[in-house]
A and B are shown apart, each in its own frame.
Chain A
Amino acid sequence: MLAIYWVYLKITVALQFQYRVAMAVWMINRIVEPTVFLVVWVTVAAARGTVGGYGAADFAAYFIVLMVVNQLTFTWIIYEFEYRVRSGELAAVLLMPIHPFHSDVADNIGYKILTLIIIVPVVILLTVLFDPAFGFRAASLALGTVALAAAYWMRMVLDWTFALSAFWTTRSTALAQIYFLVMLFFSGRLAPLELMPPWLERLSWYLPFRWTIWFPVELLLNRLDRAMIVTGFQMQVLWLVVGLVLLQVGWKLGVRKFTAVGN
């Protein structure tokens, strides 16, 4: 299995290296969005001292780490899958003796490795400019990295499962817009979840997004107590299991429904 991943990875890196500019352009949104919210919250904190326990330097640290976590864990599979189904390209994929999920993961990891060239300088620049208070400890970094890896698999599995909706509707990217909107509010990308309205914060416990973004970010920054860390890992495992089951079932049902169009 690892050998297969290695081959996929090499193909992906070679392919994407041909599209260097497109690759960089693609990232801009994931750099601009957290930077804008960083500035907004730093402005709020500068006027008020602290907001819900966050000072200006804490907000800067939160959004810089969030940028990295989001960059490392995001996927574009929903768009790609819709194209595959619509164009009939999926027919060729189905002939392969291996589940297409694996090549998508390798593809995703390849892109992430290449884009480190961009994200690392951006992070250094923002760190110099905004003077963040990173609360990293060795333990928080170690546990946070585990949470980050789990978050990566969660997003990959859940997005892939969501992408299967393309089998049943030709407008799965429209559906995805709503999915992304919910993610925006419940993941902590607008603000640390403690600052969201209480009802929204409470609801976020029952959705996966809190555990894919907010949890690794706060864990890395050493802002969580033991109970929250335990709960966080439990929720990650729970969602991973749920996602994997849904993925298996959805894939079986979807493929049965699939009739290659146009090929």
Chain B
Amino acid sequence: MLHALRVAWTFFKIGLLNEFAYRANLYLQLLQSGVAVGAALGGLLVVFGHTESLGGWGHDEILAVLGVYLLMSAAMGGVIEPSMARLMEDVREGTLDYTLTKPVEVQFLISISDIRVWKLVDVALGVIVLAVALIRRGDAVTVADSAGFALMLLAGGAIIYSFFLAMAAASFWFLHIENIFAIFSDVYQAARWPIGIYPQWLRFILTFIVPVAIAVTVPAEAAVGRLTGERVVLALAVALFTLVASRLLWRLGLKRYSGASA
């Protein structure tokens, strides 16, 4: 465990060194994140100029959803997506050999192989938006709420991570599917709003086919004290299932991998 943490820290440092070579990219990231948050907040403001609540969610609660949405995008853009993109490239090019020879659990290694440090900007923005939402809401956040929030955030992260791993593992069978991540991030924008507002069929797609709903809405529910025991069980069950299933798929794919000379 300690060893794993040291490896992760090393990768973080490598990421930092990489990014420091292109410092102007920080400003680019600031601009990009600013534009994304500006667009999202603007959308919320316009909608709430005309209504008090949306599908039973008040202003501040929807703002909390946006905060969680930003945190999840930071995790996705900061480590999950770039690492999985690298995995797909390594499979295609045969350079996964170098990773396989390392004396560390391979799944762990490929999951943190590319860390984009500037995405921490999105983490900061997500925390700020979430904090503003909770302060404006005014209700005290209890210890139980915080614990539930942390747990649901982890479950949500696990779901998104597993989904990306499964997509990346598919490259063991189909070599050219790099577009698949673009589909996910395009659909992900639907999670900016609470899942409950969508019609049944769309909710089904967003929960089970492209599982962005649980990953964002449920942690937000926890943050604003709307979490029910039923949701906790659902989120944990889906997280556990996707983690196991994606790991199986990854192992199965790895068996097919035949190296650089193939």
Contact = CB atoms under 8 A, between A and B. Distances in A.
Interface in B21-75: 28, 31-32, 35, 38-39, 42-43, 45-47, 49-51, 53-55
Given A177-B32, A178-B35, A184-B39, A47 B51 contact: yes
Interface residues of B, number: 31
A129 B39 contact: no
A138 interface: no
A47 B53 contact: yes
Contacts of B179: 21-22, 25
Contact of A181 (B38, B51, B187, B197): B38
Interface stretch (B98-106, B158-166, B198-206): B198-206
B37 to A, nearest CB: 11
B183 A181 contact: no
B199 A129 contact: yes
Interface string A22-45: 100110110011011101110110
Nearest to A44: B51
A171 interface: yes
A39 B198 contact: yes
A181 B189 contact: no
B207 to A, nearest CB: 15
B51 A51 contact: yes
A130 B43 CA distance: 21
Interface residues of A, number: 34
A88 B3 CA distance: 47
Given A25-B182, A32-B187, A33-B189, A40 B28 contact: no
Interface in B237-259: none
A191 interface: yes
19 contacts: A21-B179, A25-B182, A28-B182, A32-B190, A35-B190, A36-B193, A39-B198, A39-B202, A40-B197, A44-B54, A47-B51, A47-B54, A51-B51, A129-B201, A174-B28, A177-B35, A185-B39, A190-B43, A195-B46
